[in-house]
Chains A and B, each alone.
Chain A
Amino acid sequence: MSDEAQTVSVEISINGSRYQREVEPRLLLVEFIREEVGLTGTHIGCDTSYCGACTVILDGEPIKSCTLFAVQADGGEVITVEGLEQNDELHPIQQAFSQHHGLQCGFCTPGMLMSSLALLAENPTPSEKEIRKQLGGNLCRCTGYQNIIKAVQAAAKTMQEG
């Protein structure tokens, strides 16, 4: 309850900028990103880590930020969808999702992009099966996933060609 609430100081780097805030221990990382920092590209879809709309990169690995407390990311480095573009230039994964129509309403897209980034960072030439395995925790209700697979394959190719 609020009158018992104590705050904890956390400092989290998001897309290269450091944010120090006093937060309730129960504040979720996704709430920290959306409410404290104001980066609303990371979405909340299910609250139970099924849909993956909240996927971000924490210390190099993809995590579902709706099931991690902000205090657990204290001292960590987070990358969100807003961190994909650099100097107004889109990342090949972002471009591939658009060119292959891998998004419709766009609500799941930030999570899809971050999971795809983690996959391609780990495995630059994934098979279709490996793409499906990696994105199994990211729900999309619009695309039927067909074009998402194509987009990740295309992005892998572009990134390989450098």
Chain B
Amino acid sequence: MEMKFDGSFDVDLPRNEVFEILSDPRKFAPMLPTFHSMEMKDDRTALVRIKVGIGRISGTASTELTLEEADAPVRARYVGRGKVMQGAYQMISAFDLEAMPNGGTRINWMGETQLVGKILSLAGGGLRGYAEKEINRLIGSLQEGLTPGAELPKAKPKHEGWLARSIRRLRHQDDQPQAAEEAPEGAAQQGAETLAQQPQEVQVIQKEARQRIAQALGVNRQQKPLSRKEDNRLIRGRGLFVDDYKPGGTLHMALVRSPYAHAKILNIDTSAADALPGVFCTLSGDEISKQCQPFLQIGPEPCDAIKDYPLAVGKVRYQGDPVVAVVAESLRLAQDAVQLVEVEYETLDVIITCEQALQNDVLIHEEMGTNTDWQGVYEYGDLDKAFSEAAHIVKIDKLHFHRFGSTAVEPNAVVATWDDSLGGIDYLANTIMTIPITMISMALGVSADRIRLRTHDIGGSFGNKIGNYPYMALAALASRKTGGRPVKWVETRSEHMQAGSQGSERSYFDTEVALDENGVITALKSRHVDDCGAYPRYEPLGCVIWSQVLPAAYKLRNMRIDFSQVVTNKGPAAPNRGYSRLPHMWFMERVVDICAHKLDIPADEMRLRNYIRDFPYETPNGCVYDSGDFVALLNKAKDLIGWDEWQQKREKAKKEGRLMGIGIGTTLDSGTNNFGQSVIVNPDSPFSGNAVPAMIKLDIDGSVSVAVGSFPHGQGHETVVSQVVAEELGITPEMVNVAVGFDTARNVHSGQCGTYASQFAVTGLSAVHGATEMLKKELKELAAFSLEAAEDDLEFGLGDMGPEVRVKGTDRGINFWALSNLVNANSARLPQALRSLNLNCRYTYRPPFEVPDPESKFGNLTLTYAMQTHLAVVEIDPHTGQVKILDYGIVDDCGKMINPMIVEGQLHGGAAHGLGAALLENLPYDESGNVLAGSFTDYAPITINNVPKLKLDHMESPSPFSYNGAKGMGEGGGAPLHAISSAVQDALIDKGIIVRGSHCSPNRIFEMLQQPDGDQVVTVERRA
């Protein structure tokens, strides 16, 4: 990291005298604001002790300050070199002196600082401000030194807000070294004690602030019920996230990652790292490639030729590719040791765009022989006929859906223990489905049955954390190498941005749309290319998952999509909220809007002419949209924001030359995967259908306990499951215990468990419902025996003795404890016929799926379709390209809402993700393959200041395919991306601009305003 500063100031001293001072290290060095002491090494070089750090850090560091240039009386130049905070710095200060007519001197100064090392990761984006402040202090100090009698301005106390006070307090802390210098001789040696004392004024400010906090904490407390079971631990800081888990003897793993996007690894030297006390071992790609098999590739030939190991073997394929793992007794030691590993690389040409990848001039995986890891054509209907009969054909040049990530606040993390007593691996990890068990089992040669996977609290995932498995495998190998010690790995944010959070990007080429004379779309053909980054991993499934929503909300029957996926030298992609369907629906919404504008049909009218109207609706590829009403959704959304009024305002704005636009985003959230769709990607896939188990039991004390095969990470499954079970048993949710997180040891484990693909409300709850029905049946059998009543005469409910089964309409009942007692502790009283009862019931829900046909790519790929329509009103600043949201409305229909509060929370969250992606969040790469958003500071995930007030309304079209009428709805379908692109398009159409990218950043809009090319990139052929 390099920082340069310059400036000039005037002093009264003549130039000769100024030069004499500045060119003598003995006189120059003491003027440094952090000067502590010095000794001369030779005439030109001083060894200077300076105070380092901020505030109360009382350390000093050595700087070697050399006068490198002294050109009397016009120029002096110093170079300072030293080490500080696990890093090194070099500072260059140069002074060019001009004689002034008044006899004084103008000093033109230049400062340059280079910093290398850990300090960067600690200080991040704030370092520049700090360096600038230090330079200003140095110049201020020089000014003072060269101007006898001058006084530096002092911070003045003022009673404003906390921020102003904090800044002032920090200033005082920074001023401490100076205060020490001004103190009598000897005082400076008191060190930390002196520095720790605060000026009285700061003490007063602190006291006031502490009192305010104490007062805020001392308020009256009235305890009310919490809205979710999970909240009780999470709002008290008592959750258990992976990084909070520290079993005895835990070691820590840190990774050496490639700085290059594509390079051969020539040599790895870990000797210095291995020699560092506290380091237990290092692992390299060569070593682990002998201990494990490459991960299973989901795609068939040529994808299956890819050799994907937990560490790079032979070459690196993206910036951040892990090369060496270091395991040490503390994380800080591991990070120190990472700095000591030397890796020699030979860089290779880099592939960044899908166009480059398709040329195959450079291969990312030589063994694959191409950069295209999957290709297939999805064709339905009669394209030739539809195009020959079309009244209009709209041709659209390339569209592009950008790379971004949902980036949970908690990064990927794992604690792995190679456990001989288990004969396998014990994991606490924050992955979100059971696929990683399959991957790790096959790679490491450990039976899936011998892998215990637990999750507890997970700090968000949004699909991304499926990509945790290479690190889970690596941590297990590290644990084995250290004799079975638990090994913890927690991804840093920069690692996450480089390697752990990227959604696939998609490009759409040569789109042609056939429409009839009324603007009804009759056919569409296009070529789509996904860029999945360096390793496909889960991504080949994205080559089919989009086709769950093939026609989006529209009734066209003739479609041909040539779909391929390429690898590039970017971070490996992982599923991202709205996975694969979102980019397709953005494309379809763009097509509809572009056609509407080109045919001069209002965007709402265009949709009304094309929406699917009757449900259930079978799409051209055999998917079944279960229920809904797109027209009603749009109308409700219009009412929500006051559509007509906004249209009038838009017309007025247009007349005034302002850029206001109204956009529509219609979207589908397909839920409950049929894994049979994997045969469309790979006919040999061993997966089909979907299977999610749940268990319910009556414990010895009669309490009801439930475990589910889901991996919740914010969706409130404990709350919803207790609500559903309580309703079915006629008791209260507090009486139902739901196990936290997931655990293979609970026997609620299938190959498709997890929380993904908007399925819990259907799969999870159907499983719970099935298990509860089984338990109720057993309880009735027992109660019928105990009460000497017929089972049909019994009902469930709450009695004086708690949950019970009783004879309908009477107070003759038996409570759960007594029923449990009969089975668990008093069984001699149980008749033989009832001794097979367990009160421990497992039910696996399997949706009614069949395996799709891989040849015709036809079949039902998903069970339910939630729907949303979003309306966005925006105004664009023509000078900056900034998009301001003036109004935003959402209407959703996810069938029967089981818990409306949680549904709304998911809608809000999904909307914020979409708005962030549409306006702020982007993962661009430069031509060398450097990711340009390597931290949150650059990535700019959406904050509370960027999300407008979201207006929300609902419809409920119960699904005919789920027992409870619910539809999965957590992914949301990314409607804000559609709506914002649509609104920006509406605002800019008169400027001749067609929105062709999903990222509507100010930069992008500014560029479009400078170079409108709408007429070149979209053409219309009129036949009618």
**B211 beta carbon closer than 8 Å to chain A:** yes
* Interface size in chain A (residues, C-beta < 8 A): 91
- Chain A residues closer than 8 Å to B227, beta-carbon distance: 98-101
- Check A107 against B944 for contact (C-beta < 8 Å): no
- Contact partner of B228 among A98, A141, A158, CB < 8 A? A98
- Which B residue's beta carbon lies closest to that of A8? B192
- Chain A residues closer than 8 Å to B812, beta-carbon distance: none
**A72 beta carbon closer than 8 Å to chain B:** yes
- Chain B residues closer than 8 Å to A107, beta-carbon distance: 239, 241, 408-410, 457, 459-460
- Check A141 against B935 for contact (C-beta < 8 Å): no
* In the complex, per-residue mask of B315-340: 1 if CB is within 8 Å of any chain A CB, else 0: 00000000000000000110010000
- Check A61 against B905 for contact (C-beta < 8 Å): no
CA distance A101 to B62 in the complex (A): 53
Least CB distance from A113 to B in Å reads 7
**B438 beta carbon closer than 8 Å to chain A:** no
- Check A49 against B124 for contact (C-beta < 8 Å): yes
Once A57-B213, A104-B716, A145-B947 are accepted as A-B contacts, the answer to whether A110 and B459 lie under 8 Å apart by CB is: no
- Check B166 against A61 for contact (C-beta < 8 Å): yes
- Chain A residues closer than 8 Å to B239, beta-carbon distance: 41, 106-107
CA distance A149 to B950 in the complex (A): 12
- Check A74 against B221 for contact (C-beta < 8 Å): no
**B57 beta carbon closer than 8 Å to chain A:** yes
* In the complex, per-residue mask of B920-961: 1 if CB is within 8 Å of any chain A CB, else 0: 000000000000000111000101110101100000000000
**A37 beta carbon closer than 8 Å to chain B:** no
- Chain B residues closer than 8 Å to A72, beta-carbon distance: 54-57
**B462 beta carbon closer than 8 Å to chain A:** yes
CA distance A151 to B407 in the complex (A): 24
**B212 beta carbon closer than 8 Å to chain A:** yes
**A94 beta carbon closer than 8 Å to chain B:** yes
CA distance A27 to B241 in the complex (A): 21
CA distance A134 to B662 in the complex (A): 31
* In the complex, per-residue mask of B274-297: 1 if CB is within 8 Å of any chain A CB, else 0: 001110000000000000000000
- Contact partner of B126 among A49, A82, A105, A118, CB < 8 A? A49
- Which B residue's beta carbon lies closest to that of A44? B243
Stretch at the interface among B102-110, B358-366, B828-836, B907-915: B907-915
* Complex interface residues of chain B between 398 and 418 (CB less than 8 A to chain A): 406-411
- Chain A residues closer than 8 Å to B949, beta-carbon distance: 146
- Which B residue's beta carbon lies closest to that of A41? B237
- Chain B residues closer than 8 Å to A122, beta-carbon distance: 161-162, 212
**B223 beta carbon closer than 8 Å to chain A:** yes
- Check B409 against A61 for contact (C-beta < 8 Å): no
CA distance A142 to B459 in the complex (A): 9
Least CB distance from B911 to A in Å reads 6
Once A2-B277, A107-B460, A144-B947 are accepted as A-B contacts, the answer to whether A139 and B221 lie under 8 Å apart by CB is: no
- Contact partner of B209 among A60, A131, A149, CB < 8 A? A60
Least CB distance from B299 to A in Å reads 30
* Complex interface residues of chain B between 867 and 885 (CB less than 8 A to chain A): none
Least CB distance from A33 to B in Å reads 10
Once A60-B213, A74-B56, A136-B944 are accepted as A-B contacts, the answer to whether A145 and B912 lie under 8 Å apart by CB is: yes
- Check B944 against A138 for contact (C-beta < 8 Å): yes
- Check B236 against A85 for contact (C-beta < 8 Å): yes
- Contact partner of A81 among B162, B236, B407, CB < 8 A? B236
- Chain A residues closer than 8 Å to B462, beta-carbon distance: 141
- Chain B residues closer than 8 Å to A141, beta-carbon distance: 406-409, 460, 462, 909, 912-913, 941
- Which B residue's beta carbon lies closest to that of A81? B237
- Check B221 against A91 for contact (C-beta < 8 Å): yes
Once A61-B166, A98-B235 are accepted as A-B contacts, the answer to whether A3 and B408 lie under 8 Å apart by CB is: no
**B824 beta carbon closer than 8 Å to chain A:** no
- Chain A residues closer than 8 Å to B945, beta-carbon distance: 132-133, 136
CA distance A42 to B336 in the complex (A): 24
* In the complex, per-residue mask of A43-74: 1 if CB is within 8 Å of any chain B CB, else 0: 11111111101000101111100010101101
**B121 beta carbon closer than 8 Å to chain A:** yes
- Check A144 against B714 for contact (C-beta < 8 Å): no
* In the complex, per-residue mask of B120-159: 1 if CB is within 8 Å of any chain A CB, else 0: 0111111000000000000000000000000000000000
**A80 beta carbon closer than 8 Å to chain B:** yes
- Chain A residues closer than 8 Å to B206, beta-carbon distance: 59-60
* Complex interface residues of chain B between 232 and 278 (CB less than 8 A to chain A): 232-241, 243-244, 276-278
- Chain B residues closer than 8 Å to A44, beta-carbon distance: 243, 490
- Check A40 against B408 for contact (C-beta < 8 Å): no
CA distance A147 to B901 in the complex (A): 10
**B999 beta carbon closer than 8 Å to chain A:** no
Once A2-B278, A146-B949 are accepted as A-B contacts, the answer to whether A103 and B407 lie under 8 Å apart by CB is: no
**B16 beta carbon closer than 8 Å to chain A:** no
- Which B residue's beta carbon lies closest to that of A116? B216
**B521 beta carbon closer than 8 Å to chain A:** no
* Complex interface residues of chain A between 98 and 138 (CB less than 8 A to chain B): 98-101, 103-110, 113, 117-118, 120-122, 131-133, 135-138
* Complex interface residues of chain B between 57 and 91 (CB less than 8 A to chain A): 57-59, 85-86
- Check B235 against A61 for contact (C-beta < 8 Å): no
- Check B410 against A105 for contact (C-beta < 8 Å): yes
**B49 beta carbon closer than 8 Å to chain A:** no
- Contact partner of B336 among A1, A82, A94, A97, CB < 8 A? A1
- Chain A residues closer than 8 Å to B223, beta-carbon distance: 89-90, 95
- Contact partner of B908 among A79, A84, A113, A144, CB < 8 A? A144
CA distance A47 to B491 in the complex (A): 11
- Which B residue's beta carbon lies closest to that of A146? B908
- Check A101 against B901 for contact (C-beta < 8 Å): yes
CA distance A85 to B901 in the complex (A): 25
- Contact partner of B909 among A48, A143, A158, CB < 8 A? A143
The 10 A-B pairs at the shortest CB distance, nearest first, are namely: A41-B237, A60-B209, A107-B459, A106-B234, A144-B908, A105-B714, A104-B714, A48-B124, A144-B912, A81-B237
- Contacts A45-B459, A147-B908, A162-B219 supplied; 5 other A-B pairs, CB < 8 Å: A2-B277, A42-B237, A90-B221, A136-B944, A143-B912
22 residue pairs bridging A and B, Cβ less than 8 Å apart: A25-B59, A28-B122, A49-B126, A69-B57, A72-B55, A82-B238, A86-B217, A89-B221, A99-B227, A104-B460, A105-B410, A105-B460, A106-B235, A108-B409, A117-B213, A117-B216, A117-B217, A131-B944, A132-B944, A143-B909, A145-B912, A159-B219
- Chain A residues with a Cβ under 8 A of chain B: 1-3, 8, 24-28, 34, 39-51, 53, 57, 59-63, 67, 69, 71-72, 74-75, 77, 79-86, 89-92, 94-95, 97-101, 103-110, 113, 117-118, 120-122, 131-133, 135-149, 158-159, 162
